[in-house]
């Protein structure tokens, strides 16, 4: 997919993350904190924990989408400022709101702690700076999700990619790109993208469901690779309608071609003739198709009804 271009591109928030010294501290921190919380990270080149904390802190601030700002201060070059603020160890992080320090911590902390720290600041400030108009990443993600739901997979994928240009580690956007790639028939690319996602970092329940659907769809595509030629399998089924194995493989072949309706009909054909064939394989395969498409997809709604009708007739 090509990067998104043209109208509607998001402008990066150049004031969200910046470096400061004792001369700019008044404007970049004290004055700026009148409108939104400002987090100040005191660091040094020789400090190992500083190098661990800084990228995680930058990612957490970007994820907040403008609700807070981050200012980085080199402690070695600003010792007078550190003395004034009683910074005695590195890294030290202080949060300012309304011109005053209101919270802080020392040392490298896990991402979950950073998220909680920022969420508390946003809550304390009443969400200052974090409204819809000042949260372009969140707004863009919501719009991209809407495009996916509407079946506009190319446009959604391009918008997710655009988001990645401004927030390289955005898990939501990565998952969106993987899903869009899958819908556009680029299964190999979808698998590679999903493999790059730290699934342990996925906490949102809806994102977890999307990951599960993508993984199921990739597994289904792998199953279909060895199904055989659809035309030959159709001939076998026509010759012997009781050949459930041929009908099952035919369903896999249809599945690999993206002909999900035909795959579902073939599986239902087995269930109608012999429900328990091969340890209920046809029904289980149909449920996998439902999972891959999602519960609200028209395919799932239609064939879940069909399956219920067959099972309870």
Count how many residues are written for the chain.
313
Query: How far is residue 77 from each of residues 2, 90, 266, measured CA to CA in Å?
Result: 43, 14, 72
Distance CA 235, CA 287 (A): 26
CA distance 241 to 245: 10
Backbone torsions φ then ψ of 133, nearest 5 degrees: -70, -25
Among 39, 47, 71, 140, the active-site one is 47
Q: Which of 50, 128, 156, 171 is catalytic?
A: 50
Active site residue 50: yes
Distance CA 9, CA 29 (A): 29
Q: Work out the angle at residue 250's Cα, subtended by the Cα atoms of residues 246 and 252, and round it to the nearest 5 degrees.
A: 120
In sequence order, what are the residues at sequence separation of 6 or more whose Cβ sits closer than 8 angstroms to the Cβ of residue 86?
Answer: none
82 is annotated as an active-site residue: no
How many Å apart are CA 275 and CA 254, to the nearest integer? 21
Active site residues: 47, 50
């Amino acid at each position: 997919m090509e990067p998104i271009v043209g109208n509607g591109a998001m402008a990066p928030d150049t004031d969200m993350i910046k470096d400061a010294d004792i001369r700019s501290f008044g404007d970049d921190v004290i004055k700026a904190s009148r409108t939104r919380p400002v987090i100040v990270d005191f660091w040094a080149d020789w400090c190992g924990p500083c190098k661990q904390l800084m990228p995680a802190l930058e990612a957490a601030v970007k994820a907040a989408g403008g609700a807070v700002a981050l200012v980085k201060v080199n402690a070695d070059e600003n010792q007078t400022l550190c003395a004034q603020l009683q910074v005695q160890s590195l890294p030290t992080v202080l949060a300012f709101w309304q011109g005053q320090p209101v919270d802080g911590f020392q040392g490298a902390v896990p991402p979950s702690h950073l998220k909680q720290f920022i969420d508390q600041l946003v809550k304390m400030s009443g969400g200052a700076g974090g409204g819809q108009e000042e949260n372009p990443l969140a707004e863009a993600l919501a719009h991209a999700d809407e495009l996916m739901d509407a079946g506009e997979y190319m446009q959604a994928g391009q918008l997710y990619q655009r988001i990645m240009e401004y927030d390289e580690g955005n898990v939501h956007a990565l998952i969106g790109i993987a899903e869009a790639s899958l819908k556009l028939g680029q299964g190999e690319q979808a698998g590679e993208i999903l493999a790059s996602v730290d699934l342990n970092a996925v906490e949102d329940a809806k994102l977890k469901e999307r990951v599960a659907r993508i993984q199921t769809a990739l597994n289904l595509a792998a199953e279909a690779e060895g199904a055989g030629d659809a035309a030959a399998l159709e001939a076998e089924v026509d010759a012997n309608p009781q050949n459930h194995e041929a009908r099952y493989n035919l369903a896999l072949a249809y599945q690999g071609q993206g002909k999900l309706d035909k795959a579902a009909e073939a599986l239902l054909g087995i269930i109608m003739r012999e429900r328990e064939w091969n340890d209920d394989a046809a029904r289980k395969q149909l449920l996998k198709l439902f999972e891959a498409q999602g519960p609200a997809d028209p395919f799932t709604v239609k064939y879940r009804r069909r399956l219920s009708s067959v099972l309870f007739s």
